[in-house]
């Protein structure tokens, strides 16, 4: 650590301009006395609601190549059915495919907010993960500072011991 500074003083120095949303005492307890690593995925999973599960599943499915391929095949099938296979009044949706446009608009109107909900939740999880990483990095920095001070102390003591041994050897050589 910096010359003569305690862990708490060092934490204050490191966090002087930090916005963590907790009091100094909570931060000291967190950084000095407690383990701080958390499993963000496990914590988020325990707080998930039914809507969160649905949003994640919709995002997972809608963002896959399987969905895209099936949807393109559906569109091609719709166009072929209404342009080539069915004729006259038997067409469900004649060109310019107004019913298909309505269907696509409805799917997009429902799908987009659901995907956004999932993305917002993912952003919150990323933010929590970043805070956890910051706390872990800060604690590691404190530990490294302590180890650095201990190494400096060991080196100073070794120098004293070497100097003492050299003086002892000189004194024994004179006798």
All structural domains of the chain with their residue ranges: 35-174
* Cα–Cα distance, 33 to 149 (Å, whole number): 19
Distance from the Cα of residue 38 to its chain's centroid: 11
37-68 in b/e burial notation, b at 16+ Cβ within 10 A?
A: eeebeeebeeeeeeeeeebbebbeebeeeeee
- pLDDT for res 29: 61
Would you place residue 22 in the very low, low, confident or very high pLDDT band (cuts 50, 70, 90)? low
Which one, of 23, 22, 29, lies nearest residue 8 by Cα? 29
User: What tens digit of pLDDT does each residue of 63-102 get?
Assistant: 899 999 999 999 999 999 998 888 888 888 888 899 999 9
pLDDT of 36 reads 63
Q: At what angle do helices 65-80 and 50-62 cross, to 10 degrees?
A: 70
Residues 131, 30: Cα–Cα separation, whole Å: 12
Tokens of 131: 């805070």
Q: Indicate whether 17 pLDDT > 50.
A: no
Question: How do residues 27-64 score in pLDDT, each as one tens digit?
Answer: 666 566 656 667 777 777 888 889 888 888 988 998 89
Nearest Cα to 27, choosing from 14, 46, 44, 40? Answer: 14
User: How confident is the model at residue 132, as a pLDDT?
Assistant: 83
The pLDDT of residue 8 is 63
Is pLDDT at 13 greater than 60 in this prediction?
Answer: no
Confidence at 2, pLDDT banded by 50, 70, 90: very low
Q: Average pLDDT, stretch 153-163?
A: 96
- Tokens representing residue 166 in the block: 């050299």
Q: Measured between alpha carbons, how far is residue 137 from residues 16, 54, 64, 77, 95 in Å?
A: 16, 35, 36, 55, 61
Per-residue pLDDT, 1: 41
């Amino acid at each position: 650590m910096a010359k003569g500074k305690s862990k708490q003083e060092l934490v204050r120095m490191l966090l002087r301009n930090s916005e963590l949303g907790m009091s100094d005492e909570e931060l000291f307890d967190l950084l000095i006395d407690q383990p701080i690593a958390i499993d963000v995925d496990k914590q988020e999973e325990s707080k998930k609601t039914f809507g969160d599960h649905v949003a994640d599943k919709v995002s997972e499915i809608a963002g896959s190549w399987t969905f895209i391929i099936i949807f393109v095949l559906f569109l091609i099938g719709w166009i072929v059915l209404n342009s080539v296979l069915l004729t006259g009044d038997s067409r469900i949706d004649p060109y310019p495919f107004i019913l298909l446009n309505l269907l696509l608009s409805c799917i997009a109107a429902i799908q987009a907010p659901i995907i956004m909900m999932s993305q917002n939740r993912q952003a919150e999880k990323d933010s929590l993960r970043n805070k956890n990483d910051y706390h872990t990095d800060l604690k590691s920095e404190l530990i490294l500072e302590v180890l650095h001070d201990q190494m400096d102390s060991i080196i100073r003591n070794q120098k004293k011991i070497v100097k003492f041994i050299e003086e002892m050897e000189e004194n024994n050589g004179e006798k």
